[in-house]
Chains A and B, each alone.
Chain A
Amino acid sequence: SQTIHQWPATLVQPVGSPLSLECTVEGTSNPNLYWYRQAAGRGLQLLFYSVGIGQISSEVPQNLSASRPQDRQFILSSKKLLLSDSGFYLCAWSPGEFYEQYFGPGTRLTVT
Chain B
Amino acid sequence: GQQLNQSPQSMFIQEGEDVSMNCTSSSIFNTWLWYKQDPGEGPVLLIALYKAGELTSNGRLTAQFGITRKDSFLNISASIPSDVGIYFCAGPNRGSTLGRLYFGRGTQLTVWP
Q: Which residues of A approach B to under 8 Å, CB–CB?
A: 32, 34, 41-44, 46, 49, 51, 57, 90, 92, 94, 96-97, 99-106, 108
Contact = CB atoms under 8 A, between A and B. Distances in A.
B37 to A, nearest CB: 8
A92 B42 CA distance: 9
Interface stretch (B11-19, B58-66, B72-80, B91-99): B91-99
Interface residues of B, number: 25
Nearest to A57: B97
Given A43-B106, A90-B42, A99 B101 contact: yes
Contacts, number: 57
A46 B99 CA distance: 11
A99 B99 contact: yes
B98 A96 contact: yes
Q: Max chain B CB contacts within 10 Å: which of A32, A34, A46, A101?
A: A101
A106 B42 contact: yes
Contacts of B106: 42-43
Contacts of A57: 97
14 contacts: A34-B99, A42-B108, A46-B100, A49-B99, A51-B98, A90-B42, A90-B43, A96-B99, A100-B45, A100-B48, A102-B45, A103-B44, A106-B40, A106-B42
Nearest to B43: A103
